[in-house]
Amino acid sequence: MKYALVTGGSRGIGRAICQKLAEMGNHIIVNYNSNEAAAKETANLVKKHGVNAVLMKFDVANKQEVNNSLVKWLEDNPEFKIEILVNNAGFRKDALFMWMEEELWQSVLDVNIAGFYNVTKPVFSKMLTNRFGRIINVVSLSGIKGMPGQTNYSAAKSAIIGATKALAQEVGRAKITVNAVAPGFIKTDMTEGIEEKQYRSIIPLKRFGTVDEVADVVAFLASDKASYITGEVISINGGLHT
Ligand code: NAP
């Protein structure tokens, strides 16, 4: 039983990734933080592809919750393997640095950086034993270019780009690849309230991207076709920044 774990799989980019990986024949663990109804909807979409969908609620930033759910699931199901891990859960809380209270700074780092550690560590240990794995981290254009009003989010996504490159070099011999995708503006709840019209002039492809366009790249990186790619960051931003 080969599973793919997608953190933040309940909505947006994560849901599209769950669907693409299910279409490829993987059983899916749909992680979510609080939106159970959305997570159930993702699970139903996944099952349409004839694979299993496991709903798993935990806050990636909360190690205790990760231990109680993910680590316990791994212990209870030694016959199941998580071969694909997509660290997609993320959120932003923007403010100019001048007005950025510590809570804004810390909470964004907690979800995006501690979240990566908390989830990747237990899954990765099993991948090492199995001598196979695909880890794909969803970062952001903000982590490459930096975005004003997002020093917290840019710092967090940059950190994960560094972690991607470092980890890739540690684990190549175990046939584990580690890559990242860096979306620009993608139409999801996260970009609600950001006017597409306002940004069209600076995006060479003149529009925001779709969740499927991001999920297709993740699916490629998770597939056998990407077996010789590791330590890479692939931008999906309509040419906004190269
Ligand atoms: P979204 O529509 O806001 O969905 C966020 C997802 O992450 C939801 O499934 C949410 O779960 C989950 N999540 C949030 N905090 C979590 C936590 N602490 N623990 C577990 N799950 C958590 O966001 P999105 O636009 O799809 O973004 C997905 C990823 O792409 C994020 O890493 C984001 O930083 C990155 N990204 C997005 C864009 C963009 O333009 N949209 C651009 C660059 C990068 P619940 O449903 O339970 O709340």
List of domains in the chain: 2-236 (3.40.50.720)
Residues with Cβ within 8 Å of 239's Cβ and at least 6 positions away in sequence, in order, are: 203, 204, 205
Per-residue pLDDT of 82-109, as tens digits, reads 999 999 999 999 999 999 999 999 999 9
Q: Clarify whether 153 is annotated catalytic.
A: yes
Query: Does the C-beta of 33 come closer than 6 Å to ligand 1?
Result: yes
Residues with Cβ within 8 Å of 242's Cβ and at least 6 positions away in sequence, in order, are: 235
The Cα–Cα gap between 78 and 205 comes to 46
Amino acid at 15: R
Q: How far is the CA of 13 from the centre of ligand 1 (A)?
A: 7
Which of 3, 32, 153, 199 is labelled catalytic?
153
The Cα–Cα gap between 198 and 222 comes to 34
Question: Over pLDDT 70: what percentage of the chain?
Answer: 100
Q: Could you tell me the end-to-end alpha-carbon distance of the chain, in angstroms, rounded to an integer?
A: 39
Q: How far is the CA of 91 from the centre of ligand 1 (A)?
A: 5
Ligand 1: atom nearest CA of 33 is: 47
Ligand 1: atom nearest CA of 189 is: 2
Q: How far is the CA of 173 from the centre of ligand 1 (A)?
A: 31
Q: How far is the CA of 9 from the centre of ligand 1 (A)?
A: 8
Dihedral angle over CA of 127, 116, 2, 23, nearest 10? -140
Per-residue pLDDT of 12-43, as tens digits, reads 999 999 999 999 999 999 999 999 999 999 99
pLDDT for 62 equals 98
Q: For the CA atoms of the chain, what is the radius of gyration? A: 17
Q: How far is the CA of 8 from the centre of ligand 1 (A)?
A: 6
Question: Which of 93, 150, 94 lies closest to 158, judged by CA?
Answer: 150
pLDDT for 241 equals 86
Query: Does the C-beta of 7 come closer than 6 Å to ligand 1?
Result: yes
Nearest CA, atom 33, ligand 1: 90
pLDDT for 1 equals 85
The whole-chain average pLDDT of the chain stands at 97
pLDDT for 113 equals 98
Query: Does the C-beta of 61 come closer than 6 Å to ligand 1?
Result: yes
Position 242 pLDDT exceeds 90 = no
| Model confidence, pTM | 0.98
Averaged pLDDT for residues 159-188:
98
Ligand 1: atom nearest CA of 9 is: 9
Ligand 1: atom nearest CA of 186 is: 40
Per-residue pLDDT of 126-170, as tens digits, reads 999 999 999 999 999 999 999 999 999 999 999 999 999 999 999
Residues with Cβ within 8 Å of 84's Cβ and at least 6 positions away in sequence, in order, are: 3, 4, 5, 21, 26, 133, 134, 136, 222
Q: How confident is the model at residue 49 (pLDDT cuts 50, 70, 90)?
A: very high
Tokens found for residue 240:
């906004």
